[in-house]
Every structure is written in structure tokens, then in C-alpha cells.
Amino acid sequence: SGRWVKAMEILKEFEEKCGTPIPKLKQVADAMIVEMHAGLASEGGSKLKMLISYVDHLPTGREKGLFYALDLGGTNFRMLRVQLGGKGRGIVNQQFEEVSIPPSLMTGSSDALFDYIAAELAKFVAQEGSDFKQSPGRQRELGFTFSFPVMQSSIASGTLLRWTKGFSIDDMVGQDVVAELAKAMERQGIDMRIAALVNDTVGTLAGGRYNNKILGTGSNAAYVERAHAIPKWHGLLPKSGEMVINMEWGNFRSSHLPLPDYDHALDTESLNPGEQIYEKVIAGMYLGEIVRRVLCRMTEEAAFFGDTVPPKLKEPFILGTPIMSAMHQDTSPDLKVVASNLKDILEISNTSLKMRKVIVELCNIVATRGARLSAAGLLGILKKMGRDTIKGGEKQKTVIAMDGGLYEHYTEYRECLENTLNELIGEEVSRTIEIEHSNDGSGIGAALLAASHSQYL
């Protein structure tokens, strides 16, 4: 029928506008490198903040003792304690707990958010069992993973530049996040020193030891830069000669990014319009929402789901990326996972197999674009580090540590990202590069960094 034809036209047009052929991805990678240089040259020189993390040496494996970490991501926060055994013994014991953040606290006041977190932390600390050992007379120490852009002034202080993802707490911007957490911990009577403030991507890097990248609710990357290649760094050159850079790559944008109208509308209606454009195309918080927007258009202009637009389909963010990935990965012959999600989440029943196939195709377009564009960003970092070629037969290995629920659970996305990166760098170089999923790397990394910045060293 005419409606079906029209709906397919909308889908086709969207697909064409989301195209990411290899030459385009290489342009994105090169644009990323240009921005990396600009962001390292001067403060505010680029959309990429290229933040100095004050981490100039990564954990060595000799760290010893009991350490805590608090990982505040996009939707949850995780608390963990780890017992580090010292040289050669690694993590001898660990325990963690995850708590979701009530949405009202994401847009409330700073005190409310931190009081909630500190209260949960107090409970967690109170449950410390005798299988964890703290040397007598020592204060407990914590690594604080905070995955929002922070301008650090030392390893354990830094002011919030702005919120991203679903957060917007105005009175926090410009404040020292460590001081805010410390005050809240004091209000809860927790005797613990915050030894390190780290971005989650830096934590993952510390946990994974090499260079890393994160795909969860938002997206970010960190890597190890040569200190003398950071013109804006005016401090003493670290002994290691290196400095971990938190790129804040989510804020990357480029005319080479394929962005149809749907993305512009999503951006305009977001909590942070004009910002985090790359993140809004590749990260977990947004992929399902893009799918919803296209479906909405197909329904409004081509009656895809019949004459009336199902009311649930109009609710922003109702279609989460976990649902999208479940539908995308539906292997049943009649696509019953798609059918049941449409029914349960969007209250749409009586869909035909043909319609459900279209929805799977739509998920595929959105996931493929996101995964391929993240691979292009990784290519940019590898090129900047000189790891995109093999030098004089030297077998140098590069490990990319990936953290985040998106990479962990969305198989199609993960495989597409890996295949695209291999395609971009070629077979020979791809044998020197290993992508490893770092389970809870951002939290463990923060605990390791707390250990390597302990007051007792």
C-alpha cells in the first residue's frame, strides 16, 4: 500500500543519511586527531578538552592494603572494596554493590545527591567483614570515579565543568567534587580519605594498564600521552615522562559525522543542547531514543502502526538501548522478542512479521552507525599514538580496555565495532591490537589509583 511505501522511503532515507563508508570513517579519525592536537595545545583550544588527569604513572601491581572505590556513572553508582595483596598477588578479595540513582536526584541539588551517595557508602562500609584487613591505625582511603568532565588541579581535587548524560544540577558546576563528597561523608560520619579523583575512562585505563575506551551510558576515552607533547602543561615534567589524558571525546563533533534531522532534534531537546554530539550518536543513553524518533516519524507520516500514533511511542527515552539490543538480536523465526517488547513497552500489538523485520533493520542502522563511528574514534587515538602501523618489525602490542554496559551486552554493536576497527587498520596491524572487556575496570582502577596515591606511601 501507499503507506508502506512511504514508511519504507523514510527508512531508506534515514539509512542513506547514516552511511559510514570507510573513507568517511578515516575523515572522522583524522578530524579527531586534529582536535586532539588542538585540545593539548591550549585550554579551550578544542571541543575536545583533553583533560590532564594528574595520573602520571599507572598502577604497578605492588599496591597493598584495603581500598575503597565509588564509581558514579550515568545511571548507577557502584561501591567496592578491594584487598590488594602486594607484589605478584594482585586483588586477593573484592566486594561490590551497585545502587541506582533516583532520577529526581539527577536534577536536584548537589547536597541531596551527595548525601544519598554518602548514606549508601556508610551502609556499605559498615558491612565490611573480617575477610578484609586494614593495618591498625590507618585511615581508610577511597578512589572516586566521577564520569563527568572535571578540570583537575591535583590527583584529588577538581571542579565540575558541566554535566552530561541525564544530569543537571546547577549548583554543582564550578564546585570541587571531592570537597562536596568529603563534606557529605563527614555528615554521615564516615572516616575515610579521598585519595584519588578519576574519570571512569582513566580508571578503566588504570585497571587495564594500557589505553582504553568506554562505552556505557555515555562515551569517553583516555590514553597515555608523552608529557612533552602537551604544550598546555606548564608543570614539572613527570618522572615517567607520561601523563594520562582524559579526552572527553563525547563532545567531539565534525562535519564528517553523518547526522540526519533526528539527531538534531534529539540534541535540541536534550538537557545539554549543542554539546556531546559524538556521544549522542554512539552511546547507550541515546541509541534506543534515536530508534524511537525514526519510528515516530514513520508512524506520524506513514501510519506505520495504523491511523493513530500509539501514545507510548511519543514518550522520550521510553525505548531504552537494552530493549533495542534485545529486539536487534532476536533470532526467533517469528521475531517474538520484538513482538513482546513492542507490546510491553510501547503497548503496540498485532504487528506483522514484515513490520517487525523493519524494526530490526532500523535497530541495525542505528547500532551500525554508532559502532562504526566509535571505531573511527579509536583509529584516531591509535594514529595519534603511532600504534596504527608496525614499526621496523617491532612487535609492539596495544591493548584497548573497554568498559561499559553497551559494549558488554550489545553483541552486534561490539562485533561491528571490532570488525570495523580491523577493517580500518588492516589485518597485519590488527593482530597487534587486542580489545579487552574490562569488567568493572573503572571502579577497580580507582581503587588502584587510591592505593598508588595513598597517604601512607
Among 6, 24, 183, 409, binds ligand ADP (CB under 6 A): 409
Residue window 175-214: x/- pattern of binding to Mg ion, with contact defined by CB under 5 A: -------------------------x--------------
Q: Could you say whether residue 73 binds Mg ion (CB under 5 A)?
A: yes
Shortest Å, Cβ 99 to ligand ADP: 11
User: 69 to 108, contacts with ligand ADP by CB under 6 A?
Assistant: 73-76
Q: Is-catalytic flag, 293?
A: no
DSSP string for residues in 138-174: PPEEEEEEE-S-EEEEETTEEEE----TT---GGGTT
- Per annotation, catalytic residue among 56, 71, 176, 200: 200
d(CA 214, CA 438): 9
Q: Could you say whether residue 445 binds Mg ion (CB under 5 A)?
A: no
Q: Is-catalytic flag, 162?
A: yes
Shortest Å, Cβ 411 to ligand ADP: 9
Give whole-number Cα distances, 351 to 290, 304, 359, 360, in Å. 21, 10, 11, 13
Question: What is the 8-class DSSP label of residue 301?
Answer: H
Contacts of 356 (CB under 8 A, 6+ apart): 335, 338, 339, 342
Residue window 113-132: x/- pattern of binding to ligand ADP, with contact defined by CB under 6 A: --------------------
Q: Give the count of beta carbons closer than 10 Å to the beta carbon of residue 387.
A: 21
Give whole-number Cα distances, 315 to 21, 289, 293, 318, 346, in Å. 33, 10, 10, 6, 9
**Piece in contact with ligand ADP (CB under 6 A), picked from 16-24, 301-309, 401-409, 418-426:** 401-409
- Angle at 146 (CA atoms; ends 141, 147), nearest 5 degrees: 150
d(CA 225, CA 259): 31
Nearer to Mg ion, 200 or 275 (CB): 200
Q: Is-catalytic flag, 334?
A: no
Could you tell me how many residues of this chain bind Mg ion (CB under 5 A)?
3
d(CA 391, CA 279): 33
Q: Could you say whether residue 374 binds ligand ADP (CB under 6 A)?
A: no
d(CA 255, CA 36): 16
The answer to whether the CB of 457 falls within 8 A of the CB of 73 is no
Nearer to ligand ADP, 145 or 454 (CB): 145
Shortest Å, Cβ 327 to ligand ADP: 10
d(CA 378, CA 261): 26
User: 320 to 339, contacts with ligand ADP by CB under 6 A?
Assistant: 321-322, 325
Nearer to Mg ion, 59 or 73 (CB): 73
> Could you tell me how many residues make up the chain?
457
Shortest Å, Cβ 214 to Mg ion: 6
Pairing of strands 76-85, 64-72: antiparallel
Shortest Å, Cβ 203 to Mg ion: 9
Could you tell me how many residues of this chain bind ligand ADP (CB under 6 A)?
17
Q: Could you say whether residue 368 binds ligand ADP (CB under 6 A)?
A: no
Shortest Å, Cβ 130 to ligand ADP: 31
Active site residues: 147, 162, 200
What does the binding site for Mg ion look like in residue numbers (CB under 5 A)?
73, 200, 216
